[in-house]
Structures are given as C-alpha cells and as structure tokens.
Amino acid sequence: EIVLTQSPGTLSLSPGERATLSCRASQSITNSQLAWYQQKPGQAPRLLIYGASSRATGIPDRFSGSGSGTDFTLAINRLEPEDFAVYYCQQYSSSPWTFGQGTRVEIK
Amino acid sequence: QLQLQESGPGLVKPSETLSLTCTVSGGSISRSNYHWGWIRQPPGNGLECIGSVSYSGSTYYNPSLESRVTISRDTSKNQFSLKLSFVTAADTAVYYCARVGAGVVDWGQGTLVTVSS
C-alpha cells in the first residue's frame, strides 16, 4: 500500500498570500496518478487537480499542481477567503487507492 | 449535471450489516471509463477508499475491508450499493458514494452512519 504523507499539518496564512502544500509518497506513483481535493466543514471533498497537474473543471487557475515520482506539490496563489479549508492528496496508480492525512490551511 | 445521493439507515447495531444505496442522476452508471465507488470518513479523520464497481460490473475492494464488503449495481435503477458486514464502532463514519475516473470526480453529499447498540 502506498502511504501518502502531507506536510505541513497546518498552514497559517493571510488572504492574498501563497500556500505551498506537500505530498510525499512511500513509493513512486506511476503516470503521475495523483489528485488533490479541497474539503470544507460539513461538505464532501471537491476535486481540484488530477494527473498531478491538470485542473478539474471549474477550478480557478490560482490552484496549480506539480511533481512526479514520490514528491508532489499543490500551490495556491493569492489565497481567497474561500480557500481556507483542508486539502488532501490521493494516489490512484496502485490499489488500494490511498489518501494523505490532510493539510489544514487556516487564516492567520 | 451528474448527481449522486446516498440513502440508508443512519444507525446500525454492532455485528450487523451496514447497507447503503447510491442513486445516480444525470448520467448512466453503465457509461464507460468510470468506476462507481464508496469512500468513508470517520468523524474528524481522513478519507478511506472502500471499493468500487466499474461500468462493466467488475468490482474492486480495499484489502483491509475486503472480507466484509460487497458492492453491487442495479443498472435498471441506475444505482449501486454497499454492504459492510459485522460492523463495529470503528465503522462509524460519513459514507460517500462517488464517480471515479482520473481521481474522484464527483461526490455525493455523504451520509453519517453510526454503529451503536
């Protein structure tokens, strides 16, 4: 099973700042089959990024994903008030599909 | 627009079977290139993939739950279902049904299932 470790656990930033979230895999993820999700309290997660770097439908271009192999990054430029949430990475290259434990982006 | 809606009991007794159904509207579960899956999230915790059924009917289960899980589909009703047997308090979670392609593309709103006597 591929274990995904996200860091930091919590990121405290102000609106307008840039957020950089990390997701590290215990083994290489083939074909960049990694996704990122945003989850707000009481809501289902929402797909932001798939294929490590492709934005899902309707996702603003301030969200960007990068990386390959075992190291992946989600960047959020110019944080908007609605971006403060929990973010999860997920790999779908190897069964069982697994999620990271999440990074909380909170208002500083 | 595709919508998924979970339904089923919100309270299940220990050792019994949890049964949930997902009704899909706005798209066919027989459409190729997608799987239809179940994901759960214990209160205050992270996400766990339970398993899925493909557009062709083949199933995939998380090995950690495989001995207790059955996922099936009813194409005539455009629904798919989850059965999880011999539940314990550790199975208390919000259960989401979802459409899976490159990542989990669409999610239901989720339903909280509590295991308690």
Q: How far is B87 from chain A (nearest CA, A)?
A: 21
Give per-residue pLDDT as tens, B33-80.
889 999 999 999 999 999 999 988 999 999 999 999 999 999 999 999
* Interface test mutation site (partner B, options A1, A5, A47, A90, max chain B beta carbons within 10 A): A47
Question: Using the beta-carbon criterion (under 8 Å), do B49 and A46 form an inter-chain contact?
Answer: no
Nearest CB to B102; choose among A45, A50, A102? A50
Q: Which two tokens stand for residue A50?
A: 């798939």
Structural contact between residues A90 and A3, judged by C-beta atoms closer than 8 angstroms:
no
Give per-residue pLDDT as tens, A11-42.
999 999 999 999 999 999 999 999 999 999 99
Give per-residue pLDDT as tens, B2-44.
999 999 999 999 999 999 999 999 999 987 788 999 999 999 9
Q: How far is A24 from chain B (nearest CA, A)?
A: 16
- B81: CB partners within 8 A, 6+ apart: B19, B20, B21, B22, B71, B72, B73, B74
A11: helix, coil or strand?
strand
Q: What is the C-alpha separation between B85 and B89, in angstroms, rounded?
A: 12
